[in-house]
Amino acid sequence: MDESDITTTKAWQDLQDHHQAMRDTSMRSLFEADDQRAGSWSHQAVDLRIDLSKHLADNHTLELLTALARQSGVEQLRDDMFNGVRINTTENRAVLHTALRNVSGRPVMVDGTDVMPDVLRVLDHMAEFSDSVRNGSWTGATGKRIRTVINIGIGGSDLGPVMAYEALRDFSQRDLALRFVSNIDATQFVEATRDLDPAETLFIISSKTFTTDETMTNATTARDWITTALGQDATANHFVAVSTNAQAVAEFGIDTANMFEFWDWVGGRYSLCSAIGLSLMIAIGKDNFHDMLAGFHAMDEHFRTAPIEQNIPMLLGLLGIWYGNFWDTRSEAILPYEQYLSRFPAYFQQGNMESNGKRVTRDGRYVSYQTGPVIWGEPGTNGQHAFYQLLHQGTDIVPVDFIGFVHPRHQVGEHHDKLMANMFAQSAALAFGKTPEEALADTKALGLPADVARHREFPGNRPSTTILAPELTPNTLGQLTALYEHKIFTQGAIWNINSFDQWGVELGKSLAKQTYAAMKDRDVTALGDASSAQLLSTYLELQDEAR
């Protein structure tokens, strides 16, 4: 038996056998067999109440999944992460995003050095600067106060701040606008700046290396926009940097005193709590930002200390393994019933797919099993009128996470109760469906032809998790975000893949540089394949015709 291949282990094979026994189990039968299921399958992690009762799983399923987690060394890898071990083996780096929100005062060691003094120093620097922008003491080159802050970044340097700003917009200083530019498509920059006064605009350039092509192209365009309007010396007043590359920052024209650093043990998609969150701190203020960090830390502590059987991120990760690897599901939907969380699914689309979209194990072997799922979703109730048809009656089973809040940010009439009624109803409809007999009875009662009945059947047995929080605040946003981060960690540990590198983006980037050079040289023969050469040739010909 090859112990390095999890599919050959006893824990995995026991789950395969168990799946065969569970294939014809219905959600209705699980509830009929256990009248305490709704309560016993409900858990609490910090302020989040998590209902796992609507899953195609029983107590034995959880026992087997827990055995798989222990066999896979999830707990040891978790402890290694918190202790600064270089678990990102392909890049020889520690993975310490949890240190960024460590409000406990405990030292966090990497190679014998406590990183917390540097973390706290940068947070203090961020707080001082954000206060100066918010209170108007930081001014532009003409002495006007800043009215708009534009974060220029891409990937984790954009998605995290965008998601959190949209989520916490109700906490933001409303006379200070926050915008984001990430796409190298000039349309985004033009639309972000077209109604702005350069004298009242501040750019935050967020790039660890200060070499990312999309970010630096947009940054150069932003600098030209500022200097054309305000003169060559205006850069220092209208730009700050989030980076590790002081030389490149200085060469761009930004005073390195206005550079906010972070470290190689901070992965881009886990960097929201680092200086990458500077734009967010400016928007919501340092106190709210620190409250968000406290929420992250509270969930980190739950993940760090709770046994697997009560560890909610681990249980969510294990249920994802159960569906993806044994029920052959290929995607998961995150469906927040909260408009402020409109970018939350997209944020964890990157978080999950960039982390666990891997086909090679940590020890360099090709996997023989499915790894990262496709993540997608939109806020309810909009999604109900878009893609829920497939969730309910499509041929694929898509596990769903519903996220809702007891108290709304805005109490207006009956809106919130109706919103939450929809969320609860959708989870029930997915789980229990409508039997052929029930569909036929409804069809007859409505006076419709009998052959319509099958169209009105709902198979049910579509699994879902419901996450209920008291209210969307900076603290609960931190808890939710850390919950999903650690779910992703758990699955990567079981699949024995490195969730903290992203080599998959490199090939396309290098080919883009090659293609751009060929475009500038007008030499299509420099491209490596006939299709790309033909496409570039056509593009150049059409450009010439338009001139």
Which residue type does 289 have?
F
Task: Find out whether 368 and 433 touch, Cβ atoms under 8 Å.
Answer: no
Determine whether 452 is exposed, middle or buried from the number of CB atoms within 10 Å of its CB (0-12, 13-18, 19+): middle
Closest of 274, 254, 159 to residue 208, by C-alpha: 274
By the 10 Å C-beta count (0-12 exposed, 13-18 middle, 19+ buried), 442 is classed as middle
Q: Which two tokens stand for residue 503?
A: 């080599």
Among candidate residues 231, 243, 238, the one with its CA nearest the CA of residue 193: 238
Spot the catalytic one: 3, 385, 520, 545: 385
CB atoms near residue 304 (< 10 Å): 16
Residue listed under structure tokens 């006007």: 144
97 classed as catalytic: no
Residue 181 CA to its chain's centroid (Å): 18
CA gap 457, 124 in Å, rounded: 58
128 a catalytic residue:
no
Catalytic residue, from 60, 415, 444, 509: name it. 509
What SS3 state is found at 306? coil
Does the active-site annotation cover 208?
no
* CA 478 from centroid of its chain's CA atoms: 12
Please, which residues bridge with residue 366 across strands?
A: 360
Place of tokens 């969307």: 472
Kindly list the distances between the CA atom of residue 320 and the CA atoms of 216, 298, 417, in Å, as whole numbers in the listed order.
38, 23, 30
CA distances from 385 to 378, 390, 422, 453 (A): 11, 11, 12, 22
What residues does 360 pair with on adjacent strands?
A: 366
The first and second tokens of residue 87, run together, are 């678990």
Instruction: Establish how many alpha carbons lie within 13 A of residue 267's alpha carbon, considering only the half-sphere containing its beta carbon.
Output: 26
Helix (H) or strand (E) holding 366: none
**The two structure tokens encoding residue 444:** 């007859």
Rounded Cα–Cα distance for residues 392 and 384 (Å): 10
- Find the catalytic residue in 166, 332, 338, 354: 354
Among all residues, which ones are annotated catalytic?
Answer: 354, 385, 509
